[in-house]
Amino acid sequence: MTYLPFLQIDVFSERHGDGNPLAVVLDADPLPERTFRRFAAWTNLSETTFLLAPTPAGRAAGADYRVRIFTPSGELSFAGHPTLGSCYAWLHSGGQPQRPGTIVQECALGLVPIREQQGRLAFAAPAMEQSVPNAALTALVVGALGLRPQQVRATRLLNNGPRWLALLVDSKDAVLGLTPDHARLKDLGQDVGVVYMAPQPHAAGEPAAYVRAFAPSLGTSEDPVTGSLNASLAQWLIGEGLAPPRYLAAQGECRGRAGRVTIEQDSAGQVWVGGRCLTAIEGRAHFP
């Protein structure tokens, strides 16, 4: 019998129940990979993470811990809300970073710096690839979402581990009023992010962006709050001059949540994606 520390974290949440839940198992080095997969399928959350000691190469490069990220059906090289939630759980359990104020996470994608400021964590958005999406597939996705073609202002295929077809639409109502055909989206096999960016300037403390994420690959029809998508959206939109270098994004309203994601591009051009994490459940997980 093996008992390991376990937390369930509410990520991108200003109050309990408003964000995206994440299951975290700490000190998971003794567990075999088949247990990771089985436990992640059992939690039935969009992601479950297992915290491990860094690899020798990772530690030499500055990593404080290593994370493996699993959906109910497979492993991810990187994901946003698991990054923040795992870091929060590591700090909550007494983790001390090598460099005060900056935590370095090792994952399959590489090393991800995370900073802690005023009770919030923010990760450095990893390098992203972007390209022009296939026009025929885009048209099918637009139809499956219930959008009219004229409502779509711009499109991009974004890849920072997860691969998103991103659609910039012309109104908040177009985002919140989507009536997607989830079965059709699943058949198309493409994760989709939809965003509206309000005209500048934005009122202080008010969301400038409204986001929804439809992610069949995660085993969910709609993800409540999505760090990887918000990261790649920010890199795309800021880079094209379609968004300011600092803004607040709202996601989850159509799932009964009120997730809030902070976006900030620093003077070096690095985009930081942040939010608050809250402990929902804390205890021990039993592994036979």
> Backbone phi, then psi, for 94, in 5-degree steps?
105, 10
- Is 240 a catalytic site residue? no
Whether a cis peptide bond, with omega within 30° of 0, leads into 149 is: no
Determine the 3-state secondary structure of 150 from DSSP.
helix
What tokens appear for 103 in the block? 């935590």
| Distance of alpha carbon 17 from alpha carbon 116, whole angstroms | 22
8-state DSSP, 219 = T
Nearest to 210 by CA among 253, 250, 151, 156: 250
Length of the chain: 288
Given 14, 47, 106, 129, the catalytic residue: 47
What tokens appear for 131 in the block? 């390209």
Cα Rg of the chain (Å, integer)? 18
| Distance of alpha carbon 52 from alpha carbon 33, whole angstroms | 12
Bridge partners of 5, per DSSP, are 284
β-strands 20-25, 2-11 pairing: antiparallel
Residues 6+ apart with CB under 8 A from 86: 22, 24, 49, 51, 65, 67, 69, 105
Instruction: Give the C-alpha distances (Å, rounded to integers) separating 226 from 98, 262, 287.
Output: 28, 12, 29
Beta-carbon count within 10 A of 73 CB: 11
So which residues are the catalytic ones?
47
